[in-house]
Structure 1
């Protein structure tokens, strides 16, 4: 994940207390609080602008040219334009527009020099239908703005101070769209793999910055009326206690979700190798158009709006959760196949985050299995979200908490199945990776 850190204070409880109460560390907490507010404010308008442009492209513009609904072919010119915009950014702008989505959220913190490329790539291409989420660019913007503010102090910057502040900036930026500061903080902790004194050193600044950021997002959202496109479910199916049938079918359903997500991610890795080899600008445009073909195919096959398969997926997830019975099994299968292929292509060629689409794909895959006798709709929705997010992030605890928060106040009924789905996703993913590693070693050892 972007901006994670491995601080190394002295081990032991006695040594931890002076470190946490030292003047330098208290100053770092104050910096996290002070930087968290302007970083969150900038990120609020960053995401709001992206949401406004998305509304213009997929709702206002079709109506303006005489269409009552988005036509099936709309993703083709939209994604072609996204590829044309992104091509010079990834080849000529510092930072190449941000992290490669196929590599997850991770990488070194994005600095101020790379900020323009990240901003342009996210704001100008994601609203056009790129099948990626805003989380990775948002984290990159948060870390870059925090580092920029740190540099403006005109004081010597310690290496550990730089890394912790960058991580706090990322956490402040992403806290609200992932359900609040708790999910963001858990993500930082789980991704960093820290414990004991090291955990406190990193966690406290991140909690401070993300809490300040959450207040800013909430306050400005109500004051301005602008949307930030947070991952949320305004309406969920009736919550019932899972029974034996839900667990019996839920385990293979979670494994199936993991297989689908893993195949999409492998497609992303191959796409990235292909686009990075040569003629990157041309191949970026080709990949964008190819993704548009699969999104248009979804609309042709189902007769539904291509917007359901395009974009990051938070709007389609809300529709799916609000009325899952309005989707036939065929429509869900078409959504999974077409969106998964388009997502895989975008993972390796475009810029954005992998989490939001994975939650929708996991939910749709599991809900397609809900027609099996004994598997309920609500358990399928919960296990699909957890398994999809776990497969992509490799963070089962973060993914479980995110799924539970999305399910609402009665989600405690689904917690056992959600946790089991996350565990199944981890095990299945490692089995798939292990088999792939064996095949790779075999190919390398084979005589040419």
Structure 2
């Protein structure tokens, strides 16, 4: 290494030390800590109220009418009502109810003026069965409340406001991602601080580390030799993936990426549809189409329409707990009907794109888990990672999310999870249509970090 390069390292370290220990930066850290508490409380009540309304629409109301569960026709009036509520919000309320979910979680941070419409759109429509998640509204709550707190501060410049908005979004999204690690990785990777060079460097590093972990795991099992690697002792976990899991799993990850990417492309076509003619009327038409898709699932399978409606969080938990309760035909119907409903919702309604996609990926992988040599636990892990990676374009954050969701089984499944995340990212890039330069296609909360 040359002398100038050697000299640059201490200079960079000194610059970082000066920044971190400066009074302005320490005040910013304190402000973010103080903001995290009220933002988390606001998000807690938002998620709690949304869940309460969802429970009433899909459980209490049908029971009050004498049904054991929501009948097959239930999604039709529920989604028409969602469209009628959302139509005036997207056409008349500041902020139009939030970002279009087909563009991911990104875009400019939602300010205090746009925040009420975003919250209203989410609380009034997501519980009615819109096939989107709460993650985008939560990010909006975090950034909106954070910007509201510093709006009257003359000391906060544009850069400090961007940092505070990002911190607020991180505090908000961590409430549903299992903690701060996944939220921080999502926000950092989504911000694209390293640009295309970071992604180009990240992919080979992820694949190399996955291959290395697989080799170490395999040789450790075959030879019985100890490597002295960092470990926490014995933990309850499923068996790690073997050659069969990789041979089946990586093509399945590619298939998931194709399905998810095609769904997003259909969502972009839906955007064009809603912008032609009366936006309000076409928003209602799209919501009705979502209701038709969910109803079709109930009629085809004889199962509850709630499985194909909503964000998919509850159905994902049921599928992971007892994957054999679904026949392959029911899983295929779930992917087809919910996938079409998700695609329409992406371009016309309001919410987050990730949670339904994760269920679609998991259902797809589970449908193939009966193949010889392909285990259920590896299928669950790769389904989560592949769908999240294809949806967000963030392979590292998707692998972390899958690991957190798998819990104790994650350590054994990480090689396959990481490889599936990278494969899905690459296939997604191959399948999606090239858009004109400057077109919006951000997947993370990049706008909040700018």
Gapped runs of 5+ residues in structure 1? Answer: 1-9, 200-236, 442-448
In structure 2, how many angstroms separate the alpha carbons of the residues matched to 1:355 and 1:396?
Answer: 13
Contact 1:257 1:387 in 2 (8 A): yes
In structure 1, how many angstroms separate the alpha carbons of the residues matched to 2:163 and 2:396?
Answer: 22
Counterpart for residue 48 of structure 1: 48
In structure 1, how many angstroms separate the alpha carbons of the residues matched to 2:176 and 2:391?
Answer: 17
| 1:437 matches 2:426 | no
In structure 2, how many angstroms separate the alpha carbons of the residues matched to 1:369 and 1:265?
Answer: 23
Deviation readout 1:180-205 (Å, 9 max, x if unpaired): 1000011111112336xxx9xxxxxx
Contact 1:238 1:378 in 2 (8 A): no
Counterpart for residue 409 of structure 1: 408
**3-state DSSP class of the match of 1:184?**
helix
| 1:311 matches 2:310 | yes
Deviation readout 1:381-428 (Å, 9 max, x if unpaired): 110000000001111111101111111113211100000100100111
Counterpart for residue 143 of structure 1: 143
Counterpart for residue 97 of structure 1: 97
Counterpart for residue 422 of structure 2: 423
Counterpart for residue 355 of structure 2: 356
Contact 1:135 1:353 in 2 (8 A): yes
Gapped runs of 5+ residues in structure 2? Answer: 1-9, 199-235, 438-450
In structure 1, how many angstroms separate the alpha carbons of the residues matched to 2:182 and 2:172?
Answer: 12
In structure 1, how many angstroms separate the alpha carbons of the residues matched to 2:398 and 2:11?
Answer: 30
In structure 1, how many angstroms separate the alpha carbons of the residues matched to 2:352 and 2:128?
Answer: 15
Counterpart for residue 399 of structure 2: 400
**3-state DSSP class of the match of 1:256?**
helix
Deviation of 1:33 (Å): 0.5
Contact 1:93 1:117 in 2 (8 A): yes
Deviation of 1:11 (Å): 7.9
**3-state DSSP class of the match of 2:434?**
helix
Deviation of 1:437 (Å): 3.0
Between stretches 319-328 and 185-194, larger displacement belongs to 185-194
In structure 2, how many angstroms separate the alpha carbons of the residues matched to 1:380 and 1:112?
Answer: 42
Counterpart for residue 293 of structure 2: 294
In structure 2, how many angstroms separate the alpha carbons of the residues matched to 1:101 and 1:349?
Answer: 8
| 1:117 matches 2:114 | no
In structure 2, how many angstroms separate the alpha carbons of the residues matched to 1:278 and 1:390?
Answer: 34
Deviation of 1:277 (Å): 2.5
In structure 2, how many angstroms separate the alpha carbons of the residues matched to 1:437 and 1:314?
Answer: 32
In structure 2, how many angstroms separate the alpha carbons of the residues matched to 1:138 and 1:11?
Answer: 39
Contact 2:142 2:168 in 1 (8 A): yes
Counterpart for residue 15 of structure 1: 15
TM-score normalized by the length of structure 2 = 0.84
Contact 1:359 1:389 in 2 (8 A): yes
In structure 2, how many angstroms separate the alpha carbons of the residues matched to 1:340 and 1:296?
Answer: 13
Counterpart for residue 187 of structure 2: 188
1:312-327 aligned within 5 A: 312-327=311-326
Q: Report the structure number with the largest CA radius of gyration.
A: 2
**3-state DSSP class of the match of 1:437?**
coil
Deviation of 1:42 (Å): 1.0
Deviation of 1:238 (Å): 7.3
